[in-house]
């Protein structure tokens, strides 16, 4: 089992550009959460996808959007990049139980390091 995989691992973009990050969840997992981790800080929750819909969202602007595909993989899109968007973007996958409560721990991918110049 490859676990949670993210691509690319590193990315350099120019201000104003758009970027797409990808995440494949751990086998058997159907829920994907995205986090932004700035250097020296704790991760910040961006949003969570389940059944191809955004279920929860943190305090991030609409420039941040996402998608989940039928195979449970997910994309994070960021438009009109700002210098402040430079960070490590982490994807976490988990398994939703039938009651609507995630009752297993989430597993994190290795992250995508985005640098905006």
Partner 1 sequence: ELKVEQNPLFLSMQEGKNYTIYCNYSTTSDRLYWYRQDPGKSLESLFVLLSNGAVKQEGRLMASLDTKARLSTLHITAAVHDLSATYFCAVDIDSNYQLIWGAGTKLIIKP
* Residues lying near partner 1 in the complex (CB under 8 A): 31, 33, 35, 41-45, 48, 55-56, 58, 90, 92, 94, 100-102, 105-111
Which CB, 62 or 105, lies closer to partner 1?
105
Which CB, 48 or 116, lies closer to partner 1?
48
Closest approach, Cβ 15 to partner 1, in A, equals 24
In DSSP terms, 24 is beta-bridged to 5
Closest approach, Cβ 80 to partner 1, in A, equals 25
Which CB, 1 or 14, lies closer to partner 1?
1
Which CB, 15 or 57, lies closer to partner 1?
57
């Amino acid at each position: 089992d490859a676990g949670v995989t993210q691509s690319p691992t590193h990315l350099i973009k120019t201000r104003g550009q758009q970027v797409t990050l990808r995440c494949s969840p751990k086998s058997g997992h159907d829920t994907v959460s995205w986090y932004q981790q700035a250097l020296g800080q704790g991760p910040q929750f961006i949003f969570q996808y389940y059944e191809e819909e955004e279920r929860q969202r943190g305090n991030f602007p609409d420039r941040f959007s996402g998608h989940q595909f039928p195979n449970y993989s997910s994309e994070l899109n960021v438009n009109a990049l700002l210098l402040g968007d430079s960070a490590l973007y982490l994807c976490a996958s988990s398994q939703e139980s039938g009651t609507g409560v995630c009752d297993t721990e989430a597993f994190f991918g290795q992250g995508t390091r985005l640098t905006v110049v």
